[in-house]
Chains A and B, each alone.
Chain A
Amino acid sequence: MKTDPSLHVTGKSEFVDDITPISNEVQIGVITSSITKGEITRLDYANALKCDGIIAVFTAADFVQPNWGAIFHDQPLLAAKEINYQGEAIALIVGNSKEAIRVARKHIKIEYKKSDAILDIETSRRLKQFVGPTRVISRSIENRTIAESLIASTHRLQGTLKIAGQDHFYLESQAAIAYPTEFSGISVISSTQHPTEVQHVVAHALGLKLSEVNCAVTRLGGGFGGKESQATPFAAYAALVAHKLNRPARLVLTKDEDMVLTGKRNPFLIEYEVGFNSDGLITALKADLFSDSGAYADLSTAIMERAMLHCDNAYYLPNARITGTVCKTHTAPSTAFRGFGGPKGVALIETIIENIALVLKKDSLDIRKLNAYQKSEQTTPYGQTIENNCLPELFSKLETSSQYRSDRAAVTAFNAKASKQLASGCLFPTPFIRGLSLTPIKFGISFSTRYLNQAAALVNLHLDGTVQVATGAVEMGQGVNTKIALAVAEIFGISIDKVRVTQTSTEKIHNTSATAASSGADLNATAARNAALEIRDRLSAFATKFFERKQTQTGKAPAAAGIYPELNCDESTTEGTTGLVSFEKGKVISVKSGDQLEFDALILEAYLNRINLGARGFFRYPGIHYNKETGEGQPFFYFTQGVASSLVEINCLTGDFKLLKAEILIDLGRPFHLPIDRGQVTGAFIQGLGWLTTEKLHYTADGRLLSISPSTYKIPGIGDIPERFEVSFLNNVGNSKNIRGSKAVGEPPLLLAISAWTAAQNAIQSLDTAKPCILPIPATAEVLQLEIQKRLKGLAV
């Protein structure tokens, strides 16, 4: 067994902090700011240096280039003077042991001059603390302004949606070990989704050439976007220490440190106005999106872009004006998180639809079906056509299979009874209300920044017929390595056991993009497949010759490989030989003669005849483009679509929320690997559920995060998953756009959990049909209870 799961269950998988230390390795502690905004006036670490086991303290001045940033180079690796958030890294303390650092760090004295901090989007907006320009996506089929379109609409609704952040809560906190190499180079092992960015930032920060730095990563104990850009500074810290001391240096954050130091999902504030007709058809949408970037830009502008590109979700918006403004505040810099802005746009339109349904006294599913993209001339507000649109089919299939209409009738009856009890003022037995909602997704696949949509892979065949593959993809539990191995194995017709995807390393594959945007398998498996195809073509040409020669030497079966006379392959061409040989079940077969050879025997023969048994493959998503300035283009290679139906129950006394039932139907084309893809769906859905319900980040009035560990920050537990939790896949074998007809799965299902949140909205709206409800995210028990309270005078005092 060579797959990761068997290593995981035996505890043998090696993560960064599991690597046995080399004897002269040092440990690093990060000293952080205890104020939110201001300046460092004194930093005195003399006493810390005197402590037992302490080797050095490093500060910003020790870097050759002190700044970094995923898009803008605006973030200091270590704060030199200016402090922009509580928990910002100021200095590195280096010692022989964690215990020595624990004791010594208390002897570092830092004095500050505090100034006023900006802690919310509203203040940042007022003070115009923006990152980059406000972006606009605007389209009007009526050639009117959005204001005119809204005025012309039969009905109008406006409101504000507030969305808070979410911590990634990967179980393996940020970690890196750096080793000094010959010629003053550095080799870093980092728990990163983006080895190339680590390589580049380390080289830049230390004044090294890119060719002098390597970054390697075996696997991550979870990433979810939190290690796309933000693993980088910790790798740079380890590299600095290793470089300065010429000793291996290890930096592993505790969970508490990780949650304080690293950024979260961007909070958003969205102001909107929607116009619709009496059927519920949306005629115009005006949405102004404001996101909270935290203290530095990080990836926030790109995240905003994806949020704007997903405000339509599955619905045709003939007239729309969507703006996006990134606002700076003094919290940890917000960063990528599974969905990358998409969930905000989708949450917006889905909550709006629940409100439209309430106003028109219709079922929200009917409003959704009415507005869903159906005809090919219905393009997105940014002008992309939707090929292979499955939305109508998805809606109708799940409506039937989840028994939506009978669920609806049951919910209506249940709530009628609850309302009666609540009206009587009797709180025993405990009153509950229920809600039901079925929401879709149409998630765009590809990085909206075009150049990131490329990948390379190295495939090497060994003489025993086994294969090593290296790509730029990082395995973090999403099963990308298994998919890559599968893609390569089937090209050679060999068992997946024979293919080993090796450690990701910038020495093997360079200029990699982050494993992100759901695209890891699409890009890297295709690149690996392309490499494998190139080798297979060479093998086909060789095997054709080999079988021809064998025909002329019948009766002389070789006793051992390599005893055939040499063939002249010097001028061999692969042209015209493809298809003459087939690769199946570990054998290579001549289509003409039926002669066959074991795959490993062919490899050895090929080697002896000087056939190149390695190749580097390359792939880029074809044909995509997007103009950020005009808000127009075809940014996505294709869309992953799906629907989910959620049935929820809320305790009216406490607001306790329970997802009773969730049924998911998703279109993954021809799924790449069904069990892995299904795991991505269930995992993403529950992660989304956490974002929407229990995962609340609590900050003090002066900007200190208090939810910094699982005792205070509540990701879903095993008891939070619905009793009935079904995942099925749309039969879409006709999909041919992507590798093996598959579709990317990493992020899209997270957005399906929005159905649980709109179901809660539906439940609360049932209490008072005159009061549209817009739930903030997360809609915690407290939020739900207070919303219920507002609608019931009889409850409590």
Chain B
Amino acid sequence: MTKRKLPRSTVHLLLNGTSTTVGSEFAHLNLGAYLREQRRLTGTKLVCSEGDCGACTVLIANAHSKEKIPFKAINSCIFPVTSADGCSVITVEGLSQVATSKSLTEVQKKLVESTGTQCGYCTPGFVMTLTGYLQEPESQKSCSLQEALVGNLCRCTGYLPIIEGAKKIDPKKNPNLRQFFFNPQQLKLLKLATQDPLEIENSNFHYFAPKTVASIKNKITQKTTLVSGNTDLGVLVNKDKLEITRAISLNQLTSAKKISKKPNSITIGHGVTITEFESIIKKQIPELFQFLKRFASPQIKNSATVIGNIANASPIGDLPPALLALDASLTFRNLKTNKARKLQLSAFFIGYKKTALKPFEMIESIEIPIAKNSIFRIFKASQRRDLDISTVSAALLYKKKTLRFAMGGVREKPIRLLKTELLLNQLDIPKMTEPEISRSCQVLLSEITPLSDLRGGAEYRKTVATNWFKSFLHELATLARGHQQ
């Protein structure tokens, strides 16, 4: 045997059950483009290249993860081929290996029978999402069938025939994906092949996936882009708005998936995806759990990280208002010096897509206080209910006679409404009079300067903001009256 080389310069994955290596010349590609152009697996369609249609959905399972349900649906158009290192990937073509009758799987058969396909362009994506959703009895507990499919757009059927077909699927007839694409033998080999960190390079692109922070120091430069879920950066690259020449993936760091629960707070690492976050907070912060049902799509949530949604600092990001109202705090790690520092989330956003992160710093974790005995409401308005970012959003938390109030979509960054909070916190909020409410609305309006853009007009955003605010105050009053009675 040859001597172990450190680090590796080839991506190793299982593609439809077959051990596959990806050479450095393709290291910059997204998985979808790699599958279509280099492997001629053209069943996977690339339509929007921004994770917003689901036609490129494939299933992926990481050999190094210990998740109960191995395969996750992802958008291959914004998933770097390098992130598939150490993973088993299933495309629509791979399903023919586990097909039962007439070379169709149960999912495929039921979609054919229900006329759940018309032009067929979105179909492989639906097949893959449904196959992932139904892979094991456990996997259906996380969400409803309809929620599982919000990330797949269809322009032909009006969805009804798809839902009708999907409802007739007999889960017992589903193939055992684990057995064919993720069995212990395959896992062992894949783990062995990918135990060393990946460092891969071609003429325009250098990629490094370190396992320790210490090993980053000498690789990181001013030109380095830190990559995690890639659901935001991947879009910018696909749309030619960003060129990444040097990337460091943070996914392999031991800090990535770290989770610690204290009685009054939850701390999660930078690699925790929204899907993982959902199960962590389901019991502790049920309002946030409910709200996340309207966050993007399962495919996005399976890749995107909580920290990424903060780090991109979009003024309309879905999570920041809720996390601001919860008064979360961040821990940064300097990748040159390995030193850590803490900062309240409320001090993190400093301008349009500008943050308090310094050069060579990453966000290592976020600590989210659990506000027990509080009234917590999160509001979101968007052009479409599902799979849409906020036009305007708000989070209000009332605890111990104190209000914390945060909004998105009303300024150049997510904000706390500090003046409004200040005014209200001098009052007995549940007993506010209508003139007091009106006055506080004026203060609220003085704090927000929304834009008119394609998602909505300034007037609309202002009106909705005050409506929600009033509705919340009326709720507190109603609850207080209920307590008195």
Residues of A within 8 A of B (CB): 1, 3-15, 17-18, 20, 102, 168-173, 219-224, 254-256, 425-430, 476-479, 652-656, 658, 675-676, 678-679, 681-687, 694, 696, 698, 706-707, 709-712, 714-721, 725, 727, 780-782, 785-786, 789, 795-797
Contact = CB atoms under 8 A, between A and B. Distances in A.
B299 interface: no
Question: Closest 10 interchain pairs by CB?
Answer: A11-B43, A477-B119, A8-B120, A477-B118, A221-B121, A686-B158, A682-B158, A11-B92, A698-B454, A428-B474
B463 A719 contact: no
Contacts of B470: 427, 796
Contacts of A256: 239
Given A9-B108, A679-B157, A796-B441, A714 B383 contact: yes
A687 B120 contact: no
Contacts of B123: 8-9, 11
A15 B119 CA distance: 10
Nearest to A479: B118
A4 B158 CA distance: 19
Interface centre among B42, B55, B95, B379 (most CB of A within 10 A): B42
Interface string B467-480: 11011101101100
Contacts of A478: 118
Given A719-B146, A721-B160, A5 B115 contact: yes
B52 interface: yes
A781 B103 contact: no
A654 B381 CA distance: 7
Contact of B50 (A219, A678, A710): A710
A63 to B, nearest CB: 28
Given A427-B471, A685-B158, A717-B153, A15 B381 contact: no
A689 to B, nearest CB: 8
A479 B460 CA distance: 43
Give the most central of B49, B160, B460, B466: most A CB within 10 Å: B160
Interface in B251-279: none
B467 A219 contact: no
B121 A718 contact: no
B155 A224 contact: yes
B420 interface: no
Given A170-B155, A675-B114, A679-B158, 17 more contacts: A5-B117, A9-B108, A9-B123, A11-B44, A11-B91, A13-B120, A222-B121, A428-B475, A477-B156, A676-B115, A679-B157, A682-B159, A682-B161, A686-B158, A711-B52, A711-B389, A719-B146
Contacts of A712: 454-455
A796 B461 CA distance: 12
Kindly name the residue among B43, B47, B162, B379 whose own CB sees the greatest number of chain A CB atoms within 10 A: B47
A3 B441 CA distance: 61
B64 interface: no
Contacts of B118: 477-479, 679, 683
A464 to B, nearest CB: 21
B115 A678 contact: yes
Given A1-B102, A5-B112, A428-B478, A721 B120 contact: no
Nearest to B28: A99
B127 interface: yes
A721 B117 CA distance: 17
A10 B120 contact: no
Q: Most chain-B CB neighbours within 10 Å: which of A3, A9, A219, A789?
A: A9
Nearest to A256: B239
From A171, A694, A780, A785, residue with most partner B Cβ within 10 Å: A171
Nearest to B472: A428
B387 A717 contact: yes
Contact of A710 (B48, B457, B466): B48
Contacts of B459: 786
B120 A255 contact: no
Contact of A102 (B108, B150, B240, B442): B240
A427 B50 contact: no
A785 B464 contact: yes
A3 B102 CA distance: 13
Nearest to B55: A171
A20 B454 contact: no
A707 B45 CA distance: 21
A52 B453 CA distance: 39
B149 interface: yes
Nearest to B29: A99
B188 to A, nearest CB: 30
A10 B112 CA distance: 10
Contacts of A684: 158
Given A1-B102, A721-B160, A711 B48 contact: yes
A785 B382 CA distance: 13
Contact of B119 (A12, A222, A681): A222
A642 to B, nearest CB: 15
Contacts of B152: 718
A517 B71 CA distance: 44
B115 A718 contact: no
Interface string B376-400: 0001010111111101000000000
Nearest to A475: B119
A242 B47 CA distance: 25
Contact of A476 (B107, B119, B163): B119
A687 B158 contact: yes
Nearest to A424: B474
Nearest to B383: A714
B438 A696 contact: no
30 contacts: A4-B120, A5-B120, A6-B108, A11-B93, A14-B42, A221-B45, A221-B120, A222-B121, A255-B48, A255-B49, A425-B434, A476-B119, A477-B120, A478-B118, A654-B468, A675-B161, A676-B115, A681-B158, A682-B158, A683-B156, A686-B159, A711-B48, A716-B159, A717-B384, A719-B150, A719-B386, A782-B391, A782-B456, A786-B460, A797-B445
